[in-house]
Amino acid sequence: MDKLIKGTAADGTIRFMAAITTEITTEAIRRHQTSPTISAALGRVMTGTLLLGSSLKEFDRLTVKIECEGAVKGITAEATTDGKVRGYVKNPHIELPPKDNGKFDVSGIIGKGMFYVIRESGFDIGLHREPYVGSVPIVSGEIAEDFAYYLAKSEQIPSAVLLGVLLQNAEPFVKASGGVMIQIMPGANEHIITIIEDTIAHAPHITSVISEGASAEDLVKLALGEIDFSILEERQIKFECNCSFERAVSLISSLGHKEVASMLKEDKGAQMTCGFCSEIYTLDEADLQKMLETSAN
Ligand code: ZN
């Protein structure tokens, strides 16, 4: 199963998070049937959201939302504190030719736009606090740089973010997916920062090491080089949506008696697709009949 770790180095002045997300990206692609470039973009955004979520405190649900002018139009990923992530894109099937270096043209499908980070809390105890929303313009469109820019501008945390998705032509279509985030805290030694910058500049691409079997811990080594670090937390992560048949029923029921009666008469049922995970819920005549009887009371 996919895994996320976090920890510190250099007396707590360096924080890191790293994750292998190969299964998560595979599941998202299977559900949304995304084109290769969109698959890479969605995998990077979901991985970045998990890493960012594990580093921020006081929220139940962290959402990263990209709204953009490029052909994909929008990408949304949502992570919970217990390691669940889900995500979707507005236009899953569009595709662009690869860039000159052979890489996916992720910035090409994103273009200009805004990068939002939304933190919500209080659900568990029945509170509905105003969500905290931070936003920055999209500076790169390659995703990792946009997470780093958000951290620097909105949270005042200089960081290095590496995210990658490697695809292949046969199932499972994702060969490797993962990422690492290094955050520089106040008081960090300049010499240590230089070592990290230098290590990352000369590091192999993370997807090539993940496809060779690297763990989340190996990704941290790839970014920190010779610097000692300690892992403080390790958790399993997975793609999981909180939709259910009961939720589909309550959403359709909320359309009102008249609308449900017409669905029963004209369509002999109703169908609802979850936008976040593409799960399809089918309500038959009996389900709608029961709904009408309940709402009549
Ligand atoms: Zn769902």
**Cα–Cα distance, 4 to 55 (Å, whole number):** 11
- The reported pLDDT for the residue numbered 130 is 83
What is the sign of the dihedral through the CA atoms of 106, 107, 112 and 115? positive
**Cα–Cα distance, 36 to 231 (Å, whole number):** 33
Same domain, 179 and 276: no
Same domain, 111 and 249: no
Boundary of a domain, candidates 239, 254, 282: 239
Same domain, 251 and 199: no
- The reported pLDDT for the residue numbered 129 is 74
Same domain, 153 and 267: no
Distance 123 CA to ligand 1 centre (A): 18
Which structural domain range is residue 276 located in? 245-296
Same domain, 274 and 214: no
- The reported pLDDT for the residue numbered 115 is 98
Same domain, 128 and 41: yes
SS3 label, residue 200: helix
State pTM to two decimals. Answer: 0.94
CATH number, domain of 130, equals 3.55.30.10
Which parts of the chain are beta strand (E)?
A: 3-9, 14-20, 61-68, 74-80, 84-89, 113-120, 132-137, 159-167, 174-184, 229-236, 238-239, 270-273, 280-283
Same domain, 235 and 123: yes
CATH number, domain of 257, equals 3.90.1280.10
- The reported pLDDT for the residue numbered 125 is 67
Distance 83 CA to ligand 1 centre (A): 16
Boundary of a domain, candidates 219, 239, 259: 239
Distance 271 CA to ligand 1 centre (A): 14
Distance 27 CA to ligand 1 centre (A): 12
Distance 278 CA to ligand 1 centre (A): 6
**Cα–Cα distance, 196 to 193 (Å, whole number):** 5
Strand 238-239 with 84-89, pairing: parallel
**Cα–Cα distance, 236 to 5 (Å, whole number):** 9
Same domain, 55 and 200: yes
Surrounding ion ligand 1 within 5 Å at CB are 241, 243, 274, 276-277, 279
Same domain, 189 and 262: no
- The reported pLDDT for the residue numbered 294 is 82
- The reported pLDDT for the residue numbered 211 is 96
- The reported pLDDT for the residue numbered 60 is 86
Distance 53 CA to ligand 1 centre (A): 20
- The reported pLDDT for the residue numbered 283 is 94
- The reported pLDDT for the residue numbered 83 is 94
> Over the chain (297 residues), what is each successive 10-residue block's mean pLDDT?
96 97 97 96 98 87 97 97 95 94 94 96 72 95 98 96 95 94 96 96 96 97 96 97 93 91 92 94 93 76
Same domain, 213 and 253: no
Q: Is-contact 53 235, C-beta < 8 A?
A: no
Residue 111 CB contacts under 8 Å (≥ 6 apart), including other chains: 68, 69, 70, 71, 138, 141
Strand partners, 161: 181
Domain total of the chain:
2
Q: Is-contact 165 207, C-beta < 8 A?
A: yes
- The reported pLDDT for the residue numbered 121 is 84
Distance 224 CA to ligand 1 centre (A): 37
Distance 242 CA to ligand 1 centre (A): 6
- The reported pLDDT for the residue numbered 171 is 85
SS3 label, residue 106: helix
Q: What is the DSSP string of 270-283?
A: EEEE-TTT--EEEE
